[in-house]
Homo-oligomer: A and B are copies of this chain.
Amino acid sequence: MIPVIRIQREDFDLSAEIAALSAGRADIGAVVSFIGLCRDEQGRLSALELEHYPGMAEAEIGRVAAEAAARWPLMGLVAVHRYGPIRPGEQIVLVLAASAHRRAAFEAADFMMDYLKTRAPFWKREHRSDGTLGGWVEAKTDDDDAAKRWEPAP
């Protein structure tokens, strides 16, 4: 199983990604997908600008994917993360995990998102509806806590 990892400016199509993953095979029983979308925060935002660290973004998501593949019996794993300006309602990130059974697919997708949030080198900046440039979005300690769920108990 070779994970598919892409960092791109363009939008992505979930159905096409699932079709590519499952084409010509009948051993997949469960596909879990996550899509992260840009919110307008009650109309406050006109866009998010996503900055990333080219090279490391692919490498780091690849390392997270390799961990997921080692941990669950996956038949497919896809992570697509966009950069550049993204408007409210648009898609930012996609994670897809396929397995014979649902538990592995759910856990792997959940794990991927938690680690992508805390380890993938992307930074969001707000553009406000009033035309001004907003601040950099602050990291949530929630996200660190979420990622810690996957670590072995001390």
Contact = CB atoms under 8 A, between A and B. Distances in A.
A6 B118 CA distance: 37
15 contacts: A14-B14, A14-B18, A25-B89, A26-B39, A27-B39, A27-B42, A28-B37, A28-B39, A29-B37, A30-B35, A30-B37, A32-B33, A33-B35, A34-B102, A102-B113
Tell me the interface secondary structure of chain A in the complex. Answer: mixed
A15 interface: yes
Interface of A: 13-15, 18, 22, 25-40, 42, 88-89, 100, 102-103, 105-106, 109-110, 113, 146
A66 B60 CA distance: 39
Contacts of A105: 34
